[in-house]
Amino acid sequence: MSRFYLLLAVVAVVAGVLIWRGAQGGSADVSATAAVAPVAVTPADSAFKGFVLGSATAPVEVTEYADFQCPHCGEFANVQFPTIKEQLINTGRLRWRFRDYPLDFPWSRVAALAGQCAGEQGKFWEMEELLFQRQFDWGTKSRNPTAAFRDLAHGIGVDPAKYNDCMDSRRYAGRVEASHEEGAALGVSGTPTFFVNGRQLDGRRYANSDAFKALVDSLAGKGGARH
């Protein structure tokens, strides 16, 4: 029953985002644009390959390209991913790699930075979960959600001063852009997009936990994923 209500919340997010974008004419205000402007990518940015959840010896690895403000990503994260985590990741059968792929939602890059800055202190996955769980609270509003993200980050135990400095300096903005560029080069055009063995999965087919379980069963039977 809880998943049913989560799904209703996701539907509300979709509607809210569409209403927000319509009211704003499809773009954010000047201050918001400045807050999320892309930056140049350095070699160090490109060398970072995302946040990983799961055992290093897991036979299968899936890479997800996602946008924290994307309603479809929120639906997948809130409804399907908990089962994938419980049945496949926590049991050592699957390793999950998260890559940022900000779209043209107003706060995509701000949210990506929040995840990166929490990740600097070893709290990425806790922040990732909260950003998706609270997506309706911040993703449908015209107000810059940086303060809301700060409250979420402090709530999971990050050092406030270090997190604030990370966000204020946009320390990992280059990482976010490098991840986006990498995804674009691989043919990513929407989110969430999944890859295994370097092969892009059918997003419609792999939008549920059952499909991922069947995938892991199949690959494990063939000796696992190639790395």
- 25-77 residue pLDDT tens: 333 333 444 456 668 899 999 999 999 999 999 999 999 999 999 999 999 99
pLDDT at 36: 60
What is the topology classification, in CATH, of domain 2-221? Glutaredoxin (3.40.30)
- 122-164 residue pLDDT tens: 999 999 999 999 999 999 999 999 999 999 999 999 999 999 9
Q: What is the largest CA-CA distance in the chain?
A: 53
> Which residues, listed in sequence order, are joined to residue 158 by a DSSP beta bridge?
none
Q: Which two tokens stand for residue 3?
A: 């998943």
76: burial class by Cβ within 10 Å (0-12, 13-18, 19+)? buried
